[in-house]
Structure 1
Amino acid sequence: MTLGRILIADDHPLINEGIQIALRVHHPGYVVDVAGSIADAEVMIQQHNDYRLLLLDYELPDSNGFNGFFKLQHLLGRVPIAIISAHDSKQILSAARAVGASGFISKRQPLDVIVAAIGTVLRGGSSFPPIDASADDAEQLRKRIESLSNAQRRVLMALAHGDLNKQIAAELGVTEATIKAHLSAIFRKLGVTNRTQAILMVRPLTGAMP
């Protein structure tokens, strides 16, 4: 009897292989699946309903910043997602906290440290590097992002990437009037008054690093 599945969404073969081997040794009760893109991960999540953890590479080709995170979060519901990345700048760490990730794991850490962090998240905890001065800003942004619905998060990310209302409506399969209603709600919840202010606020979530 298995305890469930763990999905690794990462396109780096060596990282995948190392983590898979370690998980099978330290967490033998889980089935480990691997996806090389957000699109592949979406297919796997739709095929299986027993995932207990997603390890998500921040820089998958079709991630578009944290847009891929939001797509998979919508499908997974309450299943924890831990960001795994070779880049661990304060900005990315703050953004990971803001979007509600359960952890941030640096690929540059020793494998035993990575496995320990994964174990913490599997047990319902969170695993982030030590909190620094950026944590307060991250917490404020996290609360504002958390107040948005899944649809509003996707609209916000599309907006931040420069998509027009018509394009966003086509992608989500809704009317432009619905998008305008979402934008009004987004501006209100974020405490901004226009598109430019909203884009600047969520810049750390789009992959557009300064």
Structure 2
Amino acid sequence: MNILDALEAQINILRSTILLQRRCASTSDDIKPRTSEVPHLSRQGMTVTPRQQEVIAQLSQGFSNRQIARRLGMSEATVKSHLYAAYRKLGVSSRSEAIIEVLKQEE
């Protein structure tokens, strides 16, 4: 990853954080997002599961796999498994692409 890719990823994380903060401004500060607050994600007829959506929501807030695991009460390996499955379903191959896909589907 070169410096421009890293900057683009950070910009995308900031954009998604701002969007999520606006969306959640009127909700409580629960650690776990409610499934109804997580965007419905799908591509090519494959739907991301509610748990995968929760993991992606945490990802889009800029949390590491370890932080996501702690926040959602699962192992880091389970987070990686959910992300891998969600990436396949969304047709992406990286964290930043997944965040961009979430932003596209929110529009």
| TM-score grouping bracket, smaller chain normalisation | 0.5 to 0.7
Q: Which runs of 4 or more aligned residues in structure 1 lie more than 6 Å from their structure 2 counterparts after TM superposition?
A: none
| Amino-acid identity (%) | 35
- 1:73 equivalent to 2:36? Answer yes
Structure with the bigger RCO (C-alpha within 8 Å, sep 6+) is 2
- 1:143 equivalent to 2:37? Answer no
- 1:60 equivalent to 2:58? Answer no
Q: Which has the higher strand share?
A: 1
Deviation at 1:171, TM superposition (A): 1.1
Code of the residue aligned with 2:49 in structure 1: it is S
Q: Secondary structure at the match of 2:42?
A: helix
Is the Cα contact below 8 Å between 1:160 and 1:203 reproduced in 2? no
Q: Which has the higher helix share?
A: 2
Is the Cα contact below 8 Å between 1:169 and 1:179 reproduced in 2? yes
Code of the residue aligned with 2:99 in structure 1: it is I
Is the Cα contact below 8 Å between 2:55 and 2:82 reproduced in 1? yes
Is the Cα contact below 8 Å between 2:68 and 2:79 reproduced in 1? yes
Q: Secondary structure at the match of 1:202?
A: helix
Q: How many Å separate the matches in 1 of 2:76 and 2:99?
A: 19
1:1-210 alignment runs, 5 A limit:
58-62=23-27, 68=33, 71-73=34-36, 99=40, 142-144=41-43, 147-203=47-103
Question: How many residues matched?
Answer: 81
Cα gap change, 1:197 to 1:62, in 2 (>3 Å): same
TM-score (norm 2): 0.60
User: Can you give the 5+ residue segments of structure 1 that lack an aligned partner in the other structure?
Assistant: 1-57, 75-97, 100-141
User: Can you give the 5+ residue segments of structure 2 that lack an aligned partner in the other structure?
Assistant: 1-22
Question: Root-mean-square deviation (CA), in Å?
Answer: 3.3
Cα gap change, 1:59 to 1:156, in 2 (>3 Å): closer
Q: Secondary structure at the match of 2:78?
A: helix
